[in-house]
Amino acid sequence: MVILIVSGSKVIRLSCYIFVILFRILVVYLHSDHFKHTFMEDTAIPYELPELENHSFFFIDQRVETGLEAKLHQHDAWELYYVVHGYGNRMAGDTLQPFEAGDVALIPPSMLHRWEYTPDSADEEGHVRYLMVAFSHSLVERCMQVFPELRNHLKNITFPVNALKFGSESSRTIRRILSRMNNLDELGRLCEMFRLLPVIFKSSDHTFVGRPMRIERDVRRMQQICSYVMAHYVHTISLDDIAAEVGMNRSAFCSYFKRCKGITFSQYVTQYRLNTACKLLKHSQKQVSEICFTVGFNDLPHFVRVFTNNIGVSPSRYRKQFQ
């Protein structure tokens, strides 16, 4: 109201003065720890693999503390990942799933992903371990152009756009190749790569474990949903609560989630609880009844029925397979 009675030139000077003050406040905030923490926590990290000078691919045998693994990130390379020791949760594209020792997965180039190890899964020295090989798609194309033997194996195939988890037969072969690579020099590893490429790209015993996210807002929102489920799956999660968590109404959230995931939110939570139950049945000595309540079920007969319908065997028989 005061500005309305000030002359035109004074209005301009006052506006400029206010703008300068606001700009200085903004600059201070952009350099503050709060902004940096908030921005980094809410944004996926573009990740550059180590420089591969004089090398055509990247191989690593990594032993690391559970808290030091990379956050949600992406890179322009195929990532073949073999979990040697440890377990936790893997986020690949739009999907959050548990992983365990022995798992082998393939992450396509540019797909957002994260391997989050459970602290309890570390060894006596506090470390988890994995073998990983990363390579550009141009490497595959160049090898197919130069080597007819490889081209004969890979011609007419469709390269996957989704993340893959390999079945028992392919996983066994891949683990054997990666373990051999770990004991070879660079020329020996290159020879093993020629054996590896047809296995991972022609595998028939794999499952899809993640689709690419189309826009960054969906990435952040789905990451927020997954984190909320991980933190609250032990308790009842209402649609109103999760919708409010991501700033949507109940109806809009249900439609959004079904469109992104292809299943309802209730089905997703049930899948996560059952996956967690499977992990506990394999790695803990807890009774089935205790696991039932630990993963968020309130009724043992209901838990057994849902588990059997989805997994194919009862919890007790599932555990016996690993004893």
- Taking the chain (323 residues) in runs of 10, the rounded mean pLDDT of each run is 40 45 41 37 49 75 82 87 94 89 94 90 92 92 90 88 94 97 92 95 92 72 87 93 91 89 92 94 93 95 96 95 86
What's the pLDDT score for residue 54?
Answer: 67
The angle that helices 300-311 and 265-283 make with each other, rounded to 10 degrees, is 90
Give yes or no for a contact between 272 and 240, defined as CB atoms under 8 angstroms apart: no
214: three-class secondary structure by DSSP: coil
Q: How far apart are CA 298 and CA 230, in angstroms?
A: 18
Question: CATH topology for 216-320?
Answer: Arc Repressor Mutant, subunit A (1.10.10)
CA distances from 82 to 117, 162, 236 (A): 13, 17, 34
What is the CATH code for 58-210?
2.60.120.10
Which residues, in sequence order, are CB contacts of 160 under 8 Å at separation 6+? Answer: 106, 108, 201
Does the pTM surpass 0.85? The reply is: no
CA distance 41 to 64: 21
**Amino acid in position 3:** I
Closest CA to 255 of 237, 244, 243: 243
Residue 215 has what pLDDT?
61
Quote the pLDDT of residue 14: 45
Cα 212 to Cα 160, 162, 227, distances in angstroms? 11, 7, 18
- From residue 57, alpha-carbon distances to 48, 77, 205 in Å are 13, 9, 25
Q: What is the pLDDT of residue 227?
A: 86
Q: Where are the domains of the chain?
A: 58-210, 216-320
- Tell me the CA distances in angstroms from 27 to 32, 37, 211, one per residue in order: 9, 16, 38
- pLDDT at residue 72, as a whole number: 80
Model pLDDT, residue 27: 36
Vertex 289: Cα angle to 322 and 98 (nearest 5): 50
Backbone angles phi, psi at 93, to 5 degrees: 60, -120
**Sign of the dihedral defined by the CA atoms of residues 37, 43, 48, 50, in that order:** positive
